[in-house]
Structure 1
Amino acid sequence: SDGRKGHDKLFASEVILSEDRKSVFLKIPDMKPAMQMEIKYNLMAEDGTWLSQFIHHTIHVLGDPITLSTLGFNGDELTSVPNSPSNVVLGRSEKEFRDRGLEPGLSLTVNSLKSGEKIVDVRRSRLASLHIPKVETPSPFMESGAFNLVWEGFLHSDFTREVTIEADYRGFLDVTINGLEILSGGTYKNAGYRKLASIKSEPIKLVSGLNPIKITLASPEEITYMGDPIDPSDVGLRLFWESSVFSREPIPPNVLWFSPISAGIDRFSKIHEGRELFASHNCISCHLPSEQLLSRKIMPELLWKAPSLDGIGNRVKPEWLSKWVENPALIRPDATMPAVIHGDLPAGTTNHISAYLLSLSDSSGTMNRMIRGDPVRGSLIFKALGCIGCHSNPGEKTNDQFQRVSLDYAHAKWKPEALKDFILNPVRYHLSSRMPNFKLDEDQAKDLTAYIISENRVSLDYKSSFLGGDVDLGKELLVSSGCLSCHSMNVEFSNNYKAPSLQDLEKGDWSKGCLSVSEEAFGQAPRFNFTNKERKSLQAFGKVDVNNLYRKVSSLAAERQLTSLRCIACHTIDNIEDTWSKVMAESEELISNDELGRALGLEQIWDYQGRPDLTWLGGKLNIEWMHDFIAGRIPDKPRGGLIAKMPAFSVHARSVSRGLAMMHGIDPESAIKTTLIDPEGIQIGEELIKTAGGFACVTCHGIGNQPATGGVLIESINFSKVTNRLRNEYYHRFMMNPQRIIEDTMMPRYTNDSGKTFLTNYYGGNAQKQFDAIWKYIQSINPS
């Protein structure tokens, strides 16, 4: 097996060939009875032919070794299975790799050629791919100019086998595996620097285990050797491999490993974390940049602002607001908002500011009315939508092992109608809210609200409960305490709070002010709830050129947002299980999928409820479609029978979709290749999807308004939603071997290892041509 959770990976330590030379006995240490077992083998016959195959079986009882002779084996002839040197040192399974300090991915070192090959960044790269547009640099820690990128680590192969390596690239490329150069090339001026080049290696031998790999990609120099200037161009790489048992594919992230210690990644990791903390905590709103910097491409997070204070008195309850103004960390330890109340401010400042904010109300108490919703149905909706991936159940009153956002104080914060309105439109008062829009109807939002604020919830500690205050004084304190540096208001008065500019901060002492550890050193600075680790990361960031905030690296931005938007709450990636699945696996509640579906108004649902994996997302979806889907602009979800519902992240969609594509080495500006109309191909494609004489695709896939013939339970995505959604390259990869991409997919594999299908009457069984004909037919379908 592949060693993932629930899949133990075992290795044979000794082997015997039977006396008739037709059977093999494997000795596997610590073998136990197994309900499902897979043995993969790669054997060479006497004539030199390689035999690569697998066996699926069950082991009910372990036999006595003494009985080997009765099966035609001589127990004295056990031969040890050799290990390569790399395996001896670093192991053969994921657990052993991790025990020895390895982590998934490759180290990526960025060298600035403008500064004499100075190392400006070292970070983890989950893929052997990247696209850097000419308007960006490969790292925020370099300004501009020529550079080279060096990926290093190990390529893991489960067997000793021959593979070919292929690259699509822009720039100057060199690839070595096991110390041997296998690829070398460059996109020279006479070939047009902007053009994508391809290069393919001769077959090379990978040993079973870890194979050292080094990839170097350099940008063109700024001038040629003749002194001619070179216009800036994009630089990029996509690295593929192919063997006799799998077709051409990007090298999967689960076979890449590296040593963070050897790469020296720790120093730069702290700087990256400090940079992200500076942006996500809105530090730039107080420490203002120069006008020159404002015109540059910036970190997307710098555009994310705090919630608007307009009408806040309509939305929140007085006691909660007072406690939040006093110190947000007392309610939510991970709050990014600091405490701005300190000893130099007048007594009762918290109540005065709260009184003013509460006066910003025009609802006449309507927002405080009880919601007429069904909390039982709301509980089902909470689970059906996957809210449990990001939030613990309201009122659990326990430390959450999954580090989800607690809702224990939601009932104390929100006026009921306001919470319902927030669920219906999270960005109304907070444009950059990380809470997505599920586009629920009014009744669903009421049910969910009723569940969240129902009885038996945690009570606030009201030691400093709201006692009222001076509204006019509160207004003065609001504009002088720094609140309006982050929060907007539709008012005429301006923010009076002053803090050092970004340029002054760069020269300042990063152990004082907001990053102080003693109350005396804080002065009038806000008090953030930073951990010691976060404080050290911010200080490390302060030692570099802080203008790097205004250098955008799209692939890094997308990677950060996968984390900050909690995409892994619902989706797996790189064999990392999503939080939703983990929570449900540990839950003692027995709720059927039918119940969850009905709570969302779904009368019929699919049997297969797998949510899309994100491992290949940037290379799977067409960028514009991906953007529109993430932004919530596509009204009909492609997986109509799936209970889960992809919510809208409207503000973040552009940054995520483009950045993910670049992470996979894809130019977001490249045009989608259009397929020429081919009547003959379309006709053959239509025949190939039929049940009679074809692959029977119509059993599970509807065609426009025509439903799948197998019924709703086994239905999958309608063919009319395929070609505008998927990249053609990904479609062909999936068709060649669906299980290699999605292990538990219901989609069958129609090809053998030689790239043939059983339908030999079309193109002689050539799978590539047959699947291309199906694509052409699907393209000809009018969207439903």
Structure 2
Amino acid sequence: MTDPSKRIRLNSRSNTLKATFTSPEKGDAFFRLYWSTPDYGNEPIPPKYLKHLPNENLAKGKALRRGRQLAAEHRCFKCHANDAPVKGMPELAMDAPAFEGIGSRRGMDWMADWVLNPKKMRPSAKMPVMLHSSTAEADARSIGAYLGSLKSEQPPKSVSVDSDGISEGQALYKQLNCAACHTLEEEPAEKAKLAISQAQRKFGQAGALSAFLQNPQAHYKWIRMPNFVLTRKEANSLAAFLFSKSTPTKAISKNYDASRIAAGKKLVSSQGCLNCHSMNLENSFSVAAISDLTKGCLAGSPEGSSAQFDFTSTELMALRLFMKKSMASLGQASLTEFALRQTADSNCRNCHDQMESVPPFEVLGGKLKPGWAEKLLLGTLNEKPRPWLHARMPAFPARARGLAKGLAMLNGHSPVTPQEPPVDTEKAKVGRKLVSANGGFFCFSCHAIGSLKPAQVFDAQGINLAKVGDRLLPEYFRRWMSNPLRVDPQTKMPAYFNQGQSALFDILDGDARKQIEALHHYIRLGSEIMPPDVPGQ
């Protein structure tokens, strides 16, 4: 860490800051901007306090980034494959729902309507309209018939939509904050949210919806729907509730004859479906390289057989600017920008800045060790850090590594969990004394410590201290212990130190920094931690 600047007095309004950074000759460098006062130690300056003046280059850069994002999320290079590098921007690997067995997972008529006009079904849809002629509706029905004929070997298990399941599912809908991304039938439609009203028509049967809820990524790795690791019983109950809130729609058809299915198969092969959707079927669709940025998909009003994405004029401008000026950037992978794009697309702030007991979004990259955060986002942790909370953090497997690394880098930290020196056993012994009830802070009144359960929990149970060392970056732990309320104003954790001093004067001379260091060595023992002695036991 560099030396701090000279002490300055900040105005009550705007202050001009100038930071000069010189990159080292070798190795990676990370930049973090702190401030401090006589009362509080170094802490990151909250982004909400930092602003910049607009200028032409920033506006152009924003448009280029928007065009790059639009090109990736609309899968432009699944068709125009020769225009994109093999590796680079992570979103170039985005897939689409697999077709194998899809007839057992989706309703036939819903698929036909979706193919005909995706944005009519979901305003935020990225899939284009591919059928334009006078036979478009009939062609869509044929494609729906063919896809509906693709049954899996193991059909979904039956799920009863009864009152008990509906009641339990309603409670789960609230606990999991499903409303962050979805809207119930009686609520006003919101473009950014997906309506529950289509559930029956989309999935056909509650069993198919339950199977989807248990593993949303099974047939679509990059789906935005996260994995809450639901049990079968939970998924059945939630499916029952969602079906009870969706609109029953009379099916247009039950089955189609062989000729219509054959016609649908030919259309799937020839209309570009297989450029995005995986299936063991010959793909006879191809397009030319991008040459004229005012024609084809990028025309204001696409004609002929071109895909119709219904881009706004602003989106078209951004796409054309990107494809003219910055196509080479597709070969680059900036994980900080990936994290910004994907946390916005995944609605992370709808939970992290809205729900009680859920940590604020801004601190995550500077709080969690990237390796642990990746396991959390993959859904591979053996247990929840806070099993007593109803809220649960879902998994985003396809995005996990990029998010974990990118969030750390956004906060000026290494994307790789830093190596720490070996645990100092003498300091750990002092840490054990500090957490005790006999001359210590009595930490196990709220926190479990290894096998020792918390003694006096009311409404503020804390995480097991044996689990903290694997989770938290050392810098965050020290800042948190120095003054928890400065980090999270809603926390119930009290402050034990004031202006570098501890109330426990007889331990390490009451030096807050040394006591926090001892506590850190103690919690780093993890599964080998020895709980403190309990008075009377």
Would you say same fold, with TM above 0.5? Answer: yes
| Alpha-carbon shift at residue 450 of structure 1 (Å) | 0.3
Contact 1:623 1:668 survives alignment (8 Å): yes
Q: 1:746 aligns with which of 489, 492, 495?
A: 492
Which ranges in structure 1 are unaligned for 5 or more consecutive residues?
1-167, 169-197, 221-229, 573-577, 582-608
Equivalent position to 1:413, from 183, 202, 207: 202
What is residue 510 of structure 1 aligned with on the other side?
A: 293
Aligned residue for 1:565? 346
- Deviation, structure 1 residue 290: 5.9
Distance 1:741 1:242, change over 3 A: same
Give 3-state SS (helix, strand or coil) of 1:374's partner: helix
The answer to whether the Cα contact below 8 Å between 2:377 and 2:394 also exists between their aligned partners in 1 is: yes
Overall identity of the aligned pairs, in %: 33
> Match of 1:383, as an amino acid?
K
Give, in angstroms, the shift of residue 218 of structure 1. 4.9
- In the alignment, the residues of structure 2 paired with residue 688 and residue 369 of structure 1 have an alpha-carbon distance, to the nearest angstrom, of 53
Looking at structure 1, the residues matched to 357 and 261 of structure 2 have their Cα atoms a distance apart, in angstroms, of 54
* Paired AA for residue 768 in structure 1: R
Deviations 1:125-168 (A, max 9, x none): xxxxxxxxxxxxxxxxxxxxxxxxxxxxxxxxxxxxxxxxxxx4
Aligned match of 1:529: 310
Q: Which has the larger radius of gyration?
A: 1
Write the letter of the residue equivalent to 2:523.
I
Letter in 1 for 2:447: H
Matches within 5 A, 1:135-534: 168=1, 198-219=2-23, 233-259=27-53, 261-262=54-55, 264-289=57-82, 293-294=85-86, 296=87, 298-343=88-133, 348-362=138-152, 370-371=160-161, 374-393=165-184, 395-396=185-186, 398-400=188-190, 403-415=192-204, 416-454=206-244, 457-458=246-247, 470-489=260-279, 491=280, 493-501=281-289, 505=290, 508-518=291-301, 521-534=302-315
- Equivalent residue letter for 1:653: A
- 1: distance between equivalents of 2:174 and 2:266? 45
CA 1:613–1:263 in structure 2 vs 1: closer, same or farther (change >3 Å)? Answer: farther
| Structure 1: distance between partners of 2:276 and 2:431 | 57
Which residue of the partner structure matches residue 653 of structure 1? 400
CA distance in 2, matches of 1:525, 1:636: 49
Tell me how far apart the structure 1 counterparts of residues 420 and 15 of structure 2 sit (CA, whole Å).
Answer: 36
Residue type at the aligned position of 2:360? D
Shift in Å, 1:780: 2.7
Contact 1:314-1:418 within 8 A present in 2 as well: yes
- Structure 2: unaligned runs, 5 residues or longer: 530-537
Equivalent residue letter for 1:515: L
Whole-angstrom CA distance in 1 between matches of 2:421 and 2:4: 25
* Partner in structure 2 of residue 737 of structure 1: 483
In structure 2, do the counterparts of structure 1 residues 466 and 524 end up closer, same or farther at CA, with 3 Å as the change threshold? farther
> Residue 773 in 1 paired to residue 518 in 2?
yes
Which amino acid in the other structure matches residue 384 of structure 2?
A: K
Structure 1 position 249, deviation (Å): 1.7
Q: Aligned partners of 1:360, 1:215: CA distance in 2, in Å?
A: 60
Alpha-carbon separation, structure 1, partners of 2:4 and 2:42: 11
Find the residue that maps to 2:478 and give its secondary structure.
helix
Residues 461/369 of structure 1: CA separation in 2 closer, same or farther (3 Å cut): closer
Question: 1:620-663 CA deviation, whole Å, 9 max, x = no partner?
Answer: 11111111111111121111221101111111110000111111
Cα distance between partner residues in 2 of 1:439 and 1:647: 7
* Distance 1:684-1:643 versus aligned 2 partners, 3 A rule: same
Change (3 A) 1:399 1:613: same
559 and 461 in structure 1: CA distance in 2 versus 1, 3 angstrom threshold? farther
Amino acid at match of 2:521: K
Distance in structure 2 (CA, Å) of the matches to 1:691 and 1:301 = 52
In the superposition, relative to structure 1, how do residues 262 and 547 fare at CA in structure 2: closer, same or farther (>3 Å)? closer
Q: Which whole-Å CA distance do the structure 1 matches of 2:182 and 2:121 have between them?
A: 15
Cα contact 2:77–2:83 (8 A) shared by 1: no
**Structure 1 position 481, deviation (Å):** 0.3
Secondary structure class of the residue paired with 2:9: strand
Q: Does the aligned pair in 1 maintain the 2:159–2:240 contact within 8 Å?
A: no
CA contact (8 A) 1:621 1:727 kept: yes
Q: Which of residues 457, 460, 463 is equivalent to 1:717?
A: 463
* Alpha-carbon distance, 1:277 to partner: 0.8
657 and 539 in structure 1: CA distance in 2 versus 1, 3 angstrom threshold? same
SS of the residue corresponding to residue 236 of structure 1 reads: coil
Partner SS state of residue 206, structure 1: coil
| Aligned mates of 1:396, 1:515 — CA distance in 2 | 37
Structure 1 residue 299 displacement after superposition? 1.2
2: CA distance, partners of 1:783 / 1:307: 45
Cα RMSD for the two superposed structures: 2.5
Q: 2:505 is matched with which residue? A: 760
Q: Structure 2 CA distance, aligned partners of 1:378 and 1:486?
A: 34
> TM-score, with normalisation over the residues of structure 1?
0.64
Could you report, residue by residue, the CA deviation over 1:100-146 in whole angstroms, capped at 9, with x for unpaired residues? xxxxxxxxxxxxxxxxxxxxxxxxxxxxxxxxxxxxxxxxxxxxxxx
**Pairing of 1:692-703 with structure 2 (within 5 A):** 692-703=438-449
Give the drift of 1:729: 0.8
Map 1:671-690 onto structure 2 (within 5 A).
671-679=418-426, 681-690=427-436
How far does residue 385 in structure 1 lie from its aligned partner after superposition?
1.1
SS of equivalent residue, structure 1 residue 338: coil
Q: Deviations over 1:757-784 (max 9, x none)?
A: 1111112211111111111222234269
Query: Judging changes above 3 Å, is the alpha-carbon distance between structure 1 residues 312 and 564 closer, same or farther for their aligned structure 2 residues?
Result: same
**TM-score with structure 2 length normalisation?**
0.92
Query: What is the number of equivalent residue pairs in this alignment?
Result: 526
- In 2, Cα distance between equivalents of 1:212 and 1:285: 46
Distance 2:154 2:333 in 1: 46
- Native 8 Å contact 1:323 1:465 kept in 2: no
Shift of 1:688: 1.2
1:505-533 CA-to-partner distances (Å, cap 9, x unmatched) read: 1xx22222113333xx4221111132332
Provide the rounded CA distance (Å) in 1 between the counterparts of 2:57 and 2:76: 28
Change (3 A) 1:418 1:545: same
- Measure the CA separation in 2 of the matches of 1:443 and 1:676: 43
